[in-house]
Structure 1
Amino acid sequence: MPSVTITHTTQYQYGTEVPLGPHRLMLRPRETRDLILTSFDLEISPVARIDWSHDVAGNAVATAQFDVRTTMLSIRSCTCVDLRAPVWPIFPIAAAAASYPFVYSSDDWTDLGALAVPQYADDAGRLSRWVEHFVMARPTDTLSLLKDIGNGITAGISYQSRETEGTQGPLETLDRGWGSCRDFAVLFAEAVRTLGFGARLVSGYLFNPAANLVGSSDTGSTHAWVEVFVPGAGWIPFDPTNRSVGSSNLIPVAVARRIQQVAPVTGSFHGRAIDLLSMDVAVDVREF
């Protein structure tokens, strides 16, 4: 199983010295049975006071507070992980959930809560009609249905990298016919939620040693995908950008109901908009 290093650098340049507001950092990967975190270092300049906590989803969150004015802010995380997920995973789905539709237990349904409810308005039922095309029969195989939805997104939507902030809504992605990995993930999550599945958005990194996967022009990059809760198997990762299932090449950092909740770096400064000259992000993912 590969050992991987991730270096993630975010740098802001300002035209004048500005005071910085608190910055919320989600950069530390989530440890699972398939991912062993062997080291994590966080370097921030200017020096910051850092408080660690876990949010409601169990994500590690660092809050950086600053006491000085500055013309530059640099945030650099260096991570080493061991990836242990099989390339061809077998998911022990419970017999009661092997065919769709199925019913979550009352406890699961209560705990899933908003994760099983669409987050975008669809008053005309367009997304419902679109996703129904993938339900060939009732009952139908649950895992095959979820794979078909992911494959259908990749077949019908063109991938287009987008460095600007923000994410398209699912209907916007369907109308435009293109999107980034974030847009693919949101469309997939909303589609399966429409069918009654519990789903959460995941932000992290794509490990791409052969440089042959969509969403990365090098050996790795930041990435977004979805986990769907299926009884027996638990949270199953689906990467609609690459038509893949499982986490053999995925490094999760944060999970949430909405993609906006898992941004790697968010924060503010006190000044004019024109004071921000540039923001540069560099991510290096490689095997060691």
Structure 2
Amino acid sequence: MILKDRIAIVTGAGRGIGREHALELARQGAKVVVNDFGVSLAGEKQDSPADEVVAEIVAMGGEAVANGADVADFEQAAAMVQQAIDTFGGLDILVNNAGFVRDRMLVNTSEEEWDAVIRVHLKGHFAPLRHAGAYWRAEAKEGRQRAARVINTSSGAGLQGSIGQATYSAAKAGIAGLTLVAAAELGRYGATVNAIAPVARTRMTVDAFPDMMAGAGGDGDAFDAMDPANNSPIVAWLASADAADVTGRVIEIEGGRVCLEEGWRHGPHEDAGQRWAAGDVGSAIRALVGRAAEPERVYGT
């Protein structure tokens, strides 16, 4: 019960990884706002399963309420944060998980597909985070600083890139960058901000990576490395008061393996001491490439 009486919002919590997050946070004692807008993988509106997740939480003796907000709608995101405050008396934890995919090779991607994926993933992280952050700032100014926690959802696609997922990769890379800035800005209000890069068998991944997803798990008591529930204990700990010393980090989770990602860092450099002449740049850059670590390969190459 590491989250006893803490109040959480989990977005995209009707299915898959988000559902498992909501259930695990409830098992650990949190009161949960279960958000799910109810869309297909292509982003088409359908019935939300949020009420079913709420019923599961209540059946296990927990407290939860459903929310159907479009998290990328600025006003609906504000109302979702307010629902947590009005229903449970505050907000301590925000787990940004909602998203969908429209995978295409870059030259086949339409403007509508680009806008939709960037909106749901990147703006859908920004809007709830912005309103939750404003609440925590107000609480801190009133002398009621909370042990606030944000867990965003990036992806290996955003960290290393993925063939056929240019839009998704760009959105998830943006989430990693947003995490760094939010951690630096919100720390003064008692908030930590981290991100996970989960690996799991969900409706988003089973079609994109059928071979990898089909090979997961086994019979009987064999450990299923692709079970989406594998990600949720890490999220629960990051959401706890105990995690106050960990912020601005991206953690990849694959089965029982957790990996602390090391993102963009200053590497080898060459200072000309003056403006570079264009003809001198090539040899200098090639020398730096020779001294630098090899980048990880893009998924699918």
Q: TM-score range by the shorter chain?
A: under 0.3
Structure with bigger helix share is 2
TM-score w.r.t. the length of structure 2 is 0.23
Structure with bigger strand share is 1
Q: Which has the higher contact order (CA 8 A, sep 6+)?
A: 1
TM-score w.r.t. the length of structure 1 is 0.23
